[in-house]
Amino acid sequence: MNDEQLLRYSRHILLDDIGIEGQQRLLDSHALVIGAGGLGSPVALYLGTAGVGRITLVDDDTVDLTNLQRQIAHRQDRIGQAKVESAAQSIREINPGAEVRAVQQRADAALLDELVASADLVLDCSDNFATRHAVNRACVKHRKPLVAAAATGFDGQISVYDRRQSDCPCYACLFPPDSRFEEQRCATMGVFAPLVGIIGSLQAAEGLKLLAGMADGLRGRLLMLDARTMEWNEIAVRRDESCPCCAE
């Protein structure tokens, strides 16, 4: 690290759990962020400001006026711009040293197979089950840790799925791909603006801890928030030996 980096990241370096070694791990890391909307905004900003050396952002959408209520990486003058380009610009404005790649494409199986293989960590900030399962399959295949979250209305959830550990479940262990879940999207259900900030910040925190080599965090635990009452609930998640995705 040079003198500017030592100063920029000094508050991390002062933490015994991170220190010089942990911060250098962040600088040497590559994080893949799927989605640059409500969850992806705080995730991308915190990863960039905290010193993750390489960040790849994937989203095929453009900035819309309705996004600005909660998607803090975007601005009024960027309406119509690709969300990945807008988020990348916001990161660079705060931390010019961050290397950000913007991929304006839908996260399909072929693209994920390519991008997940080269990443150290994947953060799923998408808004639909099809993409979440595609991301999970790629992470299981390449044995990459996944921080996955969801937020709609006043309800949010987050967990870490890390198949580098044989007893750790994957996303499909908890949400089987053949199950019928009622898809709830912000466009039709609405979303409480700070909720995505809370859950997205937790995603960034779990991701940074994984990259810095810290403790297990939310592996094997699903954390849920009801923002109406600000009540947190947690359930233990076990690996499904018959999971169609990660069964060996």
Residues catalogued as catalytic: 186
Return the amino acid letter for 140.
V
Please name which of 180, 209, 191, 204 lies closest in space to residue 46, comparing C-alpha atoms: 204
What is each CA distance from 235 to 106, 113, 145, 197, in whole angstroms?
31, 30, 20, 22
Q: Does residue 70 contact residue 197 with C-beta atoms inside 8 Å?
A: yes
Cα distance between residue 246 and residue 202, in whole Å: 25
Cα distance between residue 173 and residue 165, in whole Å: 14
Contacts of 242 (CB under 8 A, 6+ apart): none
- Residue 178 burial (C-beta neighbours within 10 Å; 0-12, 13-18, 19+): exposed
Contacts of 90 (CB under 8 A, 6+ apart): 44, 45, 73, 74, 75
Please name which of 204, 61, 52 lies closest in space to residue 126, comparing C-alpha atoms: 61
- Residue 10 burial (C-beta neighbours within 10 Å; 0-12, 13-18, 19+): exposed
Please name which of 155, 140, 125 lies closest in space to residue 31, comparing C-alpha atoms: 125
